[in-house]
Amino acid sequence: MTQTPSAPEALEEAAPDAAADHGDEHEHPSDRQYVKIALILGALTALEVFTYFESVHNLGDAAIYVVLIVLMILKFIYVVAWFMHLKFDSVLFRRVFVAGIVLALGVYLVMLTAFRIWGV
Amino acid sequence: MTTTSEPPLQLTAGEQLVRPSTSLGVFSRPTGETGWKSWLFTVDHKRIGIMYGAAALLFLVIGGIEALLLRLQLAVPGGNVLSEDAYNQVFTMHGVTMVFLVIMPMAAAFANYLLPLQIGARDVAFPRLNAFSLWCFLAGGIFLNTSWFLGGAPDGGWFGYAPNSGLVYSPSHGMDFYALGLQIAGIASLVSAINLITTVLNMRAPGMSLFRMPVLSWMLLVVQFLLLFAIPVITVALFLLSFDRLFGANFFNVEAGADPLLWQHLFWIFGHPEVYILILPAFGIMSEVIPVFSRKPIFGYPFMVFSGIAIGFMGWGVWAHHMFTSGIGPVSVAVFSLSTMFIAVPTGVKILNWLATMWGGRLRFNTAMLYSVGAVAMFTIGGLSGVTHAISPADTQQTDTYYIVAHFHYVIFGGSLMGMLSGFYFWWPKAFGYKLNEKLGKIGFWILLIGFNLTFGPMHILGLQGMSRRIHSYAADSGFNLWNMVASIGAFVIAAGVLLFFWNIGVSRRRARGSPPVGPDPWDARGLEWMTASPVPTHNFDRDITVTRQDEFWHRKWRIGTDGKVTRIARAEDVAHDGSATGVHLPSPSYWPVVVALGLPLVAYGLIYNLWITGIGALVILGGLYGWVFEPPDDPEDHGHDDHHEADPSGEAGNGANGGGASGNGEGEPADGDGARQLAAAGTSGGPVAEAQP
Amino acid sequence: MTDVADPTPAVTTPTDAGHAPPAHPPTTTGLTHNKVAMWLFLGSECLLFGALIAVYMFAKSRLPAGEIGPNDVFDIPFTSVSSFVLLMSSLTMVLALSALNRGEERNFRIWIVATALLGGTFIAGQVYEFTVFVDLGLGYTTNIFGSAFFTLTGFHGAHVTIGIVMLMSALVASLRGRLSPRNAETVELIGLYWHFVDIVWILIFTIIYLFPQ
Amino acid sequence: MMGEQAGGRFGPNLWRRLRLALVALAVALALTACADEHPLDTLTEAGPDAQEINDLFFPVLGVAIIVFFLVQGAIIYLAVRYRARRRAAAAAVHSDDPDGDDLYGDDEYPEQVHGNLRLELAWTIIPTILLAVISVFTLISLVDLNEVSAAEDDLRVTVVGQQWWWEFQYHLDGDTSTPPDIVTANELVMPVRQQVPLGITSRDVIHSFWIPRLNGKKDAVPGRTHPWVIEADEPGRYMGQCTEFCGLSHAYMRMYAVVLEPAEWDEWVQGQLVDAAPLEPGEPGYEGQEVFLANCANCHVVNGVSDVNLDDLPDGMGDYAGANAITSALVSGAAPNLTHVASRTTFAGSIFDLYEDRAERIPYLEVAERGDLNRGDLEAWIRNAPGQKANDADGARGMTAFPGLTDGEIDALVEYLMTLR
Ligand code: HEA
Ligand code: HEA
Ligand code: CUA
Ligand SMILES: [Cu+2]
């Protein structure tokens, strides 16, 4: 069973005082920051692509998987948090989105596990 | 993509609801409050709700006639009412119709009509999208049913297991209609889910915190979240099936290495949340009706809410209980067996809380109450047989037998449908201004209850005696004769009960003319929807309602003294709005939702028959979207916004939410920018209170 | 507990609707309908793309030995470039929004055009990639891997294409003078959608292309 | 009339009703218990697996029935005990109700109870505990049912479902990687009191293998082979039925498990291992054999007559692809192997009896000698199979019709088939 933060809290918290932590009051990241994030993203991508080339292959598949997954998650989080503003925006959005991701991860991973595609 | 910064239309007394203007500079906008056009182009959530309900009832008759054909065929061994082929089509369409075209839209009817009213809003967040959902659902339903005349209906069972649903084994177009028709209906549900969640989150009346919402609103909210997350799963499954059938993809092609269980997983990841999508609205309705007729508040409100949410969550973790015998492996079986069992806990909490609500009450067995209590009783039976499926070893005997058929009819018919019939009797006066006849209603209830148990009770026995489901006939020496005959007789008793319900509508309508109006609150009820005139005026409420507690309306009528005694402090008529307000902003009717919805089945027909038709359909959709996007949600030429404060004493928010105007989102569905119809002005706490407390 | 019989209505809520954009839209949450709806939609899309990715992973695991598969067709350097292009379009997208928020219409248009162009480049790359695959012998119906690969990337490509259409519409609206900081939210929503499509590609690129086959 | 003291009066009354209902239920269950009249009955187990299942099912059903009576009893009790009295004279607010249904007292609000935390916790925790107990027993049964006691080199049977009949491939040495020793259809002959491990698969769509009195069902999914076991306590014929919807003739896809004493079982095996000898001109059935080779042999295999070289078969799926090699007409690629068709008691998905007298009464091994051929159904089948059992018009599923065969040819065919014992 997948567990996400319990809905009513998620929604309720977002409700009355959402105004406090979102919207026009907060500082938008500056364009410089955006560029910085983009550079980081580019660098992470480069790292990812690097694993494709022979030099790291002696690490073994398992290590490569781990590295790739970590890098992927980092990129994902950077885009979501900064470009999509989730870091600064209402918790409601975060919870809706995280609910979707967690649910998707939960059911599909269970499904693939039931198919035993992980080779175990 | 354009923006509309003009404030929305507002009305003054005696004025036409909408003044004509033009769309695309060519068509004049639909106008008028009466006549078929006013229904076709309406964006009023109440009219949309009523049309959802009417369509669902129509499909109930279709699905019911299909059921009667099934029962005729099975009444005696070796029946020959239907051919094998016809039988397969009929039971498939019976299941599809009942699930997707009866119970779901019926729930949508209640959601549309009641959600905005219960939270004190003026409409839903995106009225045009709402209209689009209705027409889209209807387009999907009609599209599906045209398959009868176009070479045969779907014949792969309502869960369409691959590879039997593939082109090789199901070569007629039936399963194409299934895949595409459900896809269209799915779009309707998804759009509507987004719309209604936004409505609940964003448009509650001042003071209406989530935990002051009626249980029905809560259950509907949970259902919309389930739809939001479950529809995409079936969308993908149906796409895979369509691509296999139409374009030769290999998703379920065993020769190419595919595994048919993929379909089963995807279908049931959707399918199990779906069954809770079917039941939770009925649970909500029962949670409204039972307190009113017990004259007590709902027992354990937080538990009712949380158990609903818990069911919603747990519903995601049990899907493989439909696959206990399909070879998923003992570990998966064990895991899903246990997770399934524990769903009985939150459901049991609900059952027992209803009983506790009745405990110590002053029960009035009006028809609505009878149906609700009947639903509690019947659902319990289905739920308990559900638990006997959940113990997976036993399910290997039960699955795909009539024992399962008994289970799900008890939960769906006995729970969902009876619950919703209760809702019809309960809210009918609210929607139409007259009550349904109680005497006919009660007779109808008992006929239905008896017929229901006659039909589906014996199926438990049949199933345990080994009668498989989806069999066109059975041998005379299988020992199934007696109970099948009983079940078939029962089905016709049900039909009589349903018929009586329709008869009742006719009779009550006729009698209503000349009878005194029912008033805003015929049952001495609790929710905000009763705090306005019946039938509900187009603008719902005359003024803001500031909510200070649960059951706000009831508390304005009654005072609980320090001794616990309840005394009346006001008549409903004095508290409720009389619907005479003027100058209320309302969204304008629009052609475009209908146009866009019309394009979808064209695309689907084209995929089956001729891609040119798809092209035309796509053009219709594009044209519709174009018109939609460039049409302001409200009539722009009508007025300036300056007069708006004078005319709107409650300080309605105007077009504040309209910041962005119309914008496109995702899959090319335009999001309405017309968000201004909420009464909720300031935040829920701390804001000025519109209706002062002494 | 106090009860109110017939409360007198009408205390005007002091919003200033219409005259100036209110600090917060007068909704219960203070969030606009459109934005709430967009996030709900994106939450829903997680399950759509999740399913497609899962189907792909499953299909790949079931590809019979000897059939044409990922190793035979993928051109990682090429895809890396187009992935990078799409990634950078997210940057231009935020820059566009930020320009609009500051009221710099010209910059806004430049960035929005840049975003659309980068998106277009990505799509062009995808079309090229598809044709190469077909030339290599991997068609949509060739095998289970082909069906799953083209379906997944095709769905993503369709999303990008819709995004480009929305970007162009925003551009047109801006040229007509209908976009201003006041209704920058429209662009923000397009941006959300665009970034979402981008993160889906982040997943696809890693899982489908880079994972050791 | 029903107020406070009515509750007291209702008590025993309620009990009487409950007892009545219980008796009715017991009768209903008893009715279901006659296995003779209910050949597919799940409740009259005849093997250890079915037994295991029912040992789990009945207690849980018992719990369900208790909860059922508690809830329904509570509803009836509450409905009677707390029913509001109608007071026509009371100053009803809604006295204008045309049905006169709402003439209840207006002041009838009872104490307004909002909830009770302890109760809530009680009815959360008690069912949880109950279910936890049930789940322990469920897990135990699951483990038991998945146990395979048969040795590696014991008999193993591969079960192949297809539209709309069952094929059984016997691996006497338990080695499924080699071609099967015996291939038969629709009647799974097996030794008594011996666990027979099965591998269940399909050649086309999903079917489900089910002999209710011996064990639960297991789906036959193309591309997958599912392990399952079956075991019977007593010799006999146990009916089975395909239970996963598989198209037109899903209803007509039955089967039997025929359980024999060990000695008979050995005899049966020996008989089946013998190939059919091609008939020479002049031998009875020779004409039929010629008609058969001309019309039927491109679908049906008769070992020794219309053979395929089993050594050429691809290994892997454990599939006996004998018929696949000969035909391309069928979607599933196979038709029943007819080498010993006359030794079976039913045909075509076990929906027709091959012999007139109730085959159960004759020892299984003697039925081919002593039984009266059910000539009518067999001839009708050969002449027009689709007319006897729905199949696809395009001829890709099931057996085709042979309208061109003369009566004489059909007689010859039947005579030939009867030589295949
Ligand atoms: C409204 C729809 C609905 C609902 C609410 C449910 C509710 C439940 N269902 Fe059902 N189900 C269906 C609709 C529904 N189902 C349909 C349509 C199918 C068949 C699909 C098809 O194959 O065509 C199906 C099939 C189905 C199966 C698969 C059977 C098979 O094909 O082999 C299973 C297996 O576990 C199952 C279990 C359950 C359980 C455990 C619940 C639980 O939620 C029930 C919980 C309720 C109670 C238990 C009663 C009240 C509780 C108490 C009074 C507390 C005390 C109780 C105990 C301690 C036991 N259902
Ligand atoms: C919402 C869900 C719902 C509802 C309400 C019903 C209602 C009924 N169902 Fe249905 N049923 C399903 C959902 C539902 N069913 C599903 C999902 C399946 C599985 C399909 C599959 O296997 O794929 C199924 C399967 C199913 C079967 C099994 C078929 C098989 O496996 O071979 C049977 C058999 O008896 C049956 C019977 C009935 C009957 C008699 C009714 C009755 O209650 C119907 C009562 C209603 C009416 C009778 C209509 C009103 C009538 C009139 C207004 C009069 C009109 C005119 C005349 C009298 C001519 N249903
Ligand atoms: Cu084979 Cu049903
Ligand atoms: Cu389920």
User: In this predicted structure, what is the pLDDT of residue D333?
Assistant: 66
User: In this predicted structure, what is the pLDDT of residue D360?
Assistant: 62
Question: Does residue A118 fall inside a structural domain?
Answer: yes
The pair of three-digit structure tokens given for residue B40, joined into one six-digit string: 């076709």
**D120–B341 C-beta distance less than 8 A:** no
Residue B514, sorted as left (phi over 0), alpha (psi -120 to 50) or beta, turns out to be: left
| Interval between CA B321 and ligand 4 midpoint (Å) | 6
- Taking only the tens of pLDDT, chain C with its 213 residues reads 333 333 333 333 333 333 334 455 678 888 999 999 999 999 999 999 999 999 999 999 999 988 999 989 999 999 999 999 999 999 999 999 999 999 899 999 999 999 999 999 999 999 999 999 999 999 999 999 999 999 999 999 999 999 999 999 999 999 988 888 888 899 999 999 999 999 999 999 999 999 887
Q: Please list every protein residue whose CB sits less than 6 Å from any atom of ligand 2.
A: B 60-61, 64-65, 67-68, 70-71, 91-92, 94-95, 98-99, 102-103, 157-158, 405, 409, 412-413, 417, 455, 469-470, 491, 494-495, 498-499, 502
User: In this predicted structure, what is the pLDDT of residue D90?
Assistant: 45
Question: Does residue C27 fall inside a structural domain?
Answer: no
Q: What is the rounded CA–CA span in Å between residue B444 and residue B428?
A: 16
Q: What is the mean pLDDT of residues B274-301?
A: 96
Question: Does residue C45 fall inside a structural domain?
Answer: yes
List the chains bordering chain A where 3 or more Cβ pairs fall under 8 Å.
B, C
Query: Does A54 have pLDDT greater than 90?
Result: no
Residues D292-309, buried b or exposed e (16+ Cβ, 10 A)? beebbbebbbbbebbbbe
Residue D376 CB partners (closer than 8 Å, separation 6+): none
| Interval between CA B405 and ligand 2 midpoint (Å) | 10
Nearest-ligand number for the alpha carbon of B411: 1
List pLDDT tens digits, range C8-51. 333 333 333 333 344 556 788 889 999 999 999 999 999 999 99
Nearest-ligand number for the alpha carbon of B153: 2
Output the average pLDDT for chain A: 78
Q: Chains A and C: how many Cβ contacts under 8 Å? A: 142
Range of the domain at C170: 33-210
Question: Does residue A21 fall inside a structural domain?
Answer: no
Query: Does B318 have pLDDT greater than 50?
Result: yes
User: In this predicted structure, what is the pLDDT of residue C124?
Assistant: 97
- Where do the domains of chain B lie? 44-512, 592-629
Residues C37-60, buried b or exposed e (16+ Cβ, 10 A)? bbbbbbbbbbbbbbbbbbbbbbbb
* Closest by Cα among B633, B647, B629, B669 to B5: B633
List the chains bordering chain C where 3 or more Cβ pairs fall under 8 Å.
A, B
Residue D80 CB partners (closer than 8 Å, separation 6+): D2, D6, D7, D10
User: In this predicted structure, what is the pLDDT of residue B417?
Assistant: 97
| Ligand 1 in reach of B223 Cβ (< 6 A) | no
Question: Does residue C184 fall inside a structural domain?
Answer: yes
Q: What is the DSSP letter of D115?
A: -
The pair of three-digit structure tokens given for residue D381, joined into one six-digit string: 């089948």
Type of residue numbered B104: M
**A15–B320 C-beta distance less than 8 A:** no
List pLDDT tens digits, range B396-413. 999 999 999 999 999 999
Residues facing residue D201 across a β-bridge = D160
Segments in D239-374 forming alpha helices (H): 262-273, 286-295, 322-326, 367-370
Question: Does residue A5 fall inside a structural domain?
Answer: no
- A48 and A81, same domain (yes or no): yes
Number of neighbouring beta carbons within 10 Å of residue C6: 13
Q: Tell which atom from ligand 1 comes closest to the C-alpha of B103.
A: 1
Q: Please list every protein residue whose CB sits less than 6 Å from any atom of ligand 3.
A: D 161, 164, 207, 242, 244-246, 250, 253
Q: CB–CB of B584/B652 below 8 Å? A: yes
Residue that the structure tokens 């591309």 belong to: D223
User: In this predicted structure, what is the pLDDT of residue B654?
Assistant: 32
Q: What is the mean pLDDT of residues A25-41?
A: 82
User: In this predicted structure, what is the pLDDT of residue B23?
Assistant: 47
- A83 and A99, same domain (yes or no): no
B262 CB neighbours in chain A (<8 A) are 115
* Closest by Cα among B114, B156, B109, B161 to B133: B109
Domains of chain D in start order, with CATH, are 4-83+115-145 (1.10.287), 152-421 (2.60.40.420)
User: In this predicted structure, what is the pLDDT of residue C33?
Assistant: 93
- A77 and A118, same domain (yes or no): no
Number of domains forming the structure of chain A: 2
Q: Report the run of H or E that residue B614 belongs to, with start and end.
A: helix B611-630
Helices vs. strands in chain B: H and E counts, helices first: 22, 6
| Interval between CA D222 and ligand 3 midpoint (Å) | 12
**Three-state secondary structure of B305-337:** HHHHHHHHHHHHHCHHHHHCCCCCCHHHHHHHH
* Residue C127 belongs to domain with CATH number: 1.20.120.80
User: In this predicted structure, what is the pLDDT of residue D158?
Assistant: 94
Q: Tell which atom from ligand 3 comes closest to the C-alpha of D163.
A: 1
Candidate of B347, B352, B380, B460 to mutate for ligand 1, largest count of ligand atoms within 8 Å of Cβ:
B347
- A34 and A84, same domain (yes or no): yes
Q: Which burial class, exposed, middle or buried, applies to C20 when counting CB atoms under 10 A from its CB (0-12, 13-18, 19+)?
A: exposed
Q: CB–CB of D179/D320 below 8 Å? A: yes
The pair of three-digit structure tokens given for residue C205, joined into one six-digit string: 């690129």
List pLDDT tens digits, range B140-194. 999 999 999 998 999 999 999 999 999 989 999 999 999 999 999 999 999 999 9
* C58, C74, C113, D133 from C52: Cα distances, Å: 10, 19, 30, 39
Q: CA neighbours within 13 Å on the CB side: how many for B92?
A: 32
- A48 and A78, same domain (yes or no): yes
What are residue C9's phi and psi, to 5 degrees? -80, -170
Report helix, strand or coil for D350: coil
Question: Does residue C162 fall inside a structural domain?
Answer: yes
* Closest by Cα among B140, B142, B118, B95 to B49: B118
Q: Between these two residues, D359 and A52, which has the higher pLDDT value? A: A52
Output the average pLDDT for chain B: 86
Q: C-alpha angle with apex B230: B229 to B234, nearest 5 degrees?
A: 135
Distance from CA of C135 to the nearest CA of B (A): 18
Give the rounded percent of residues in chain D with a pLDDT score beyond 70. Answer: 78
What angle do the packed helices B367-390 and B402-411 form, to 10 degrees? 140
Using CB atoms, pick whichever of D97, D141, D241 lies closest to residue B393: D141
Report helix, strand or coil for B564: coil
Range of the domain at A100: 90-120
User: In this predicted structure, what is the pLDDT of residue B299?
Assistant: 95
User: In this predicted structure, what is the pLDDT of residue B28?
Assistant: 61
- This complex has an ipTM of 0.90
Q: Which burial class, exposed, middle or buried, applies to B346 when counting CB atoms under 10 A from its CB (0-12, 13-18, 19+)?
A: buried
Question: Does residue A97 fall inside a structural domain?
Answer: yes
Residue B544 CB partners (closer than 8 Å, separation 6+): B120, B205, B206, B650, B651, B652, B679, B680, B681, B690, B691, C9, C13
Type of residue numbered B136: C
Q: What is the mean pLDDT of residues B688-694?
A: 32
The pair of three-digit structure tokens given for residue B232, joined into one six-digit string: 């995409």
Number of domains forming the structure of chain C: 1
Distance from CA of A98 to the nearest CA of C (A): 7
User: In this predicted structure, what is the pLDDT of residue A62?
Assistant: 83
**C39–A97 C-beta distance less than 8 A:** yes
User: In this predicted structure, what is the pLDDT of residue B561?
Assistant: 86
- pLDDT-derived band of residue B616, with 50, 70 and 90 as boundaries? very high
* Closest by Cα among B112, B109, B92, B185 to B143: B185
Using CB atoms, pick whichever of A71, A99, A115 lies closest to residue C43: A99
Q: What is the mean pLDDT of residues B459-469?
A: 96
Q: Tell which atom from ligand 1 comes closest to the C-alpha of B322.
A: 28
| Interval between CA B161 and ligand 4 midpoint (Å) | 15
Q: Report the run of H or E that residue D166 belongs to, with start and end.
A: strand D165-171
Nearest-ligand number for the alpha carbon of B395: 1
User: In this predicted structure, what is the pLDDT of residue B648?
Assistant: 31
Residue B152, sorted as left (phi over 0), alpha (psi -120 to 50) or beta, turns out to be: left
Report helix, strand or coil for D287: helix
Query: Does A77 have pLDDT greater than 70?
Result: yes
According to CATH, the topology of domain B44-512 is: Cytochrome C Oxidase; Chain A (1.20.210)
B86 CB neighbours in chain D (<8 A) are none
**Within chain D, which residues score under 50 in pLDDT?**
1-12, 88-103, 309-328
